[in-house]
Amino acid sequence: MQTYDLEANGLRGLNSALQELNGSSNKTAWEIVNPKGSHAIAVGLNAPIDVTINGSTGYYCAGMNQQATVTVKGSVGPGVAENMMSGTVIVEGDASQYAGATGQGGLLVIKGNASSRCGISMKGIDIVVHGNIGHMCAFMGQAGNLVVLGDAGDALGDSCYEARFFVRGSVKSLGADCIEKEMRPEHIEILKDLLARAGADAKPEEFKRYGSARKLYNFDVDNAQAY
Amino acid sequence: MCGIVGLFIKDKSLEPKLGDMLTDMLITMTDRGPDSAGIAIYGSEAEGRTKLTVQSDAPEAAFDGLDGALAEALSSDVSIRVIDTHAVLDLPAGKAEEARSALAELRPGMRVMSAGDTIEIYKEVGLPEKVAERFNLRGMSGSHGIGHTRMATESAVTTEGAHPFSTGLDQCLVHNGSLSNHNALRRKLRREGVRIESQNDTEVGAAYLTWKMQNGASLGEALEGTLEDLDGFFNFVVGTKDGFGVVRDPIACKPAVMAETDQYVAFGSEYRALVNLPGIEDARVWEPEPATVYFWNH
């Protein structure tokens, strides 16, 4: 285990040390102490390493992650795991806005609540939120799964494509072209796997599935007035 | 961008440290707003007295003999405390409006930053650290305070464009965001007789709250009104003589974090601003909900 004091040694030193491991297959473990809400901690990683951040972080923690497992023992600011490609990011506290935005793969687990725009423009990432999510989550979501054990705010899945949304609690409102859909056996299987990997104590049967009504996909002459 | 910090003290033993804690918070927010900075401090109150904080670009000439001249104009005792480009004039209670008119004649070009029993506002162009040094913010004590670091968008980088804005006795407001209906609202409020001095969007927000409260709204009701009547992006943190309030617009794209312990309530644009507060590890830390009014009273 390598320990890095962020307050004493600075952000550039940390990210370059972690990025130097990119491309290697060594499963080393790192602990970052004194993050004190700093931005862009552990970004651009591309190696199967374990990084634990002891405290809360600012903007863009674990952005563009590939392969690495990043655990935050605190809360995160806006844009955690933005554009993640693979690997796992676990937030033990809450996440601010646009968590997992544009993520293309990997698993983002938020054990507290996520605020607005969680999973905006998601493109294949899986996101599991143990608490609630705010408004406009998964706006223009294209692929991947957003699982919410608590409640969802306004306009869930507005203008979404093929991303799937599973919500156990209430949904304040659905966005344009987002509808409730039938939960089929294959969805139960997807959900069972994600809940297990996210350490979530919930039954797949308790969730409802939402997704695209596919009405906004193509130009429809009857809507010409609206353009 | 812009950065906001705010601190509402619950435990009186922390009051002497208010300026020190707020200064650290303000400097941490420098990269959100490096062009100007300002702070409103709710400090000591003297029975039967009120305070006017004024600013001048030529302080030596403006403040020289000002106490005597104003005392003569008001036929009452006036004292002055000069702090860099600002001065705090101490007057008999109820004389603030009269003093404001007298000052416009005695020292044209001098700006009134704030008026009230406890409020003092200090703001200038420059890095937050430099602004804090000029006014010795660290040495100030008080029951609550609000600070702002500015990255200008809607009006020029000038002293009067810096925050906080005060448009009513003991009231102040800071803002992160930009209002899009401020011109129309400014005209409307001016017709209603509300004083608005600059072309700045935030001052209109402050004036709107003042106008609501003049018409009987509580601070909480006035903040609720912003959600209906203001268009644009805003995180507002406001102060009154004994209150401290927060509201975010329904889109809530401007960042905000709050923390509360038995000793204080704190606001920061980012968590970084709060990390050195006492007991922050065990504080309740949360992101204020969109379109939701929060306020605390002493």
What is the per-residue pLDDT for A166? Answer: 98
| Statement: residue B154 has pLDDT above 80 | no
Amino acid identity, position A178? C
Inter-chain touch A96–B274, beta carbons under 8 Å = no
What percent of chain B has a predicted confidence (pLDDT) above 90? 95
The widest CA-to-CA distance across chain B, in whole angstroms, is: 54
pLDDT tens by residue, A65-93: 999 999 999 999 999 999 999 999 999 99
Per DSSP, B75 falls in state T
| Set of chain A residues whose Cβ sits within 8 Å of the Cβ of B289 | 134
ipTM: 0.93
Residue B95 reports pLDDT greater than 90: yes
Cβ-defined contact of A36 to B272 (cutoff 8 Å): yes
Q: Which residue of B has its CA nearest to A115?
A: B287
Backbone angles phi, psi at B227, to 5 degrees: -65, -30
Q: How far is CA B40 from CA A40, A41, B146, in A?
A: 32, 33, 5
Given an 8 Å threshold on Cβ–Cβ distance, is B290 in contact with A37? Answer: no
List of residues 6+ apart from A124 with CB closer than 8 A: A103, A104, A105, A142, A143, A144
Tell me, yes or no, if B258 comes closer than 8 A to chain A by beta carbon: no
> Is there a contact between B275 and A37 if contact means CB atoms under 8 Å apart?
yes
Residues of A with CB below 8 A from B286's CB? Answer: 94
Threshold 0.80, pTM exceeds? yes
Question: Is B253 an active-site residue?
Answer: no
Tokens 């004493």, located at residue: A8
The pair of three-digit structure tokens given for residue B71, joined into one six-digit string: 């005392």
Nearest to B287 among A58, A94, A135 (CB): A94
- pLDDT tens figures, B173-217: 999 999 999 999 999 999 999 999 888 999 999 999 999 999 999
Q: First vs last Cα of chain B: how many Å apart?
A: 31
Q: Which helix (H) or strand (E) holds B295?
A: strand B294-297
Interhelix angle B96-106/B66-74, rounded to 10 degrees, is: 120
Where does chain A have alpha helices with state H?
A: 6-9, 11-19, 185-197
pLDDT of residue A226: 63
Q: Name every residue whose Cβ is closer than 8 Å to that of residue A152 and which is 6 or more positions away in sequence.
A: A132, A133, A137, A165, A167, A169, A170, A171, A172
Q: Point out the residues of chain A with pLDDT beneath 50.
A: none
Across the interface, whether the CB atoms of B275 and A96 are under 8 A apart is answered no
Cβ-based neighbours of A227, under 8 Å, separated by 6 or more:
none
Write out pLDDT tens, residues B25-34.
999 999 999 9
Comparing CB atoms, the residue among A37, A115, A135 nearest residue B272 is A37
**Contact across the interface for B272 and A59, Cβ inside 8 Å:** no
| pLDDT score for B225 | 96
Confidence tier at B57 by pLDDT (50, 70, 90)? very high
Quote the longest CA-to-CA distance of chain A: 62
Contact yes or no for B287 and A59 at CB 8 A: no
Q: Is B133 exposed, middle or buried (0-12, 13-18, 19+ CB in 10 A)?
A: middle
B275 CA: distance to closest CA in chain A (Å): 6
B285 touches chain A (CB under 8 A): yes
pLDDT, residue A3, reads 97
Tokens of B66: 């000002």
Mean pLDDT of chain B: 96
Which residue on chain B is closest to A155 by alpha carbon? B251
pLDDT of residue B91: 97
Residue A25 tokens read as 């297959």
Provide, as residue numbers in chain A, all residues whose Cβ is less than 8 Å from the Cβ of B253. 97, 116
Strands B232-239 and B172-179, by their bridges, are antiparallel
Q: What is the mean pLDDT of residues B36-55?
A: 96
Q: How far apart are CA B71 and CA B77, in angstroms?
A: 5
Mutation target to probe the A interface, by most A beta carbons within 10 A, among B25, B269, B275 is B275
* 3-state DSSP assignment of residue A142: coil
- ∠ CA B233-A38-A109, rounded to 5°: 80
* pLDDT at position A221: 82
Label the pairing between strands B111-116 and B144-150: unpaired
How far are the Cα atoms of B91, B114, B132 from residue B100, in angstroms, in the given order? 11, 10, 26
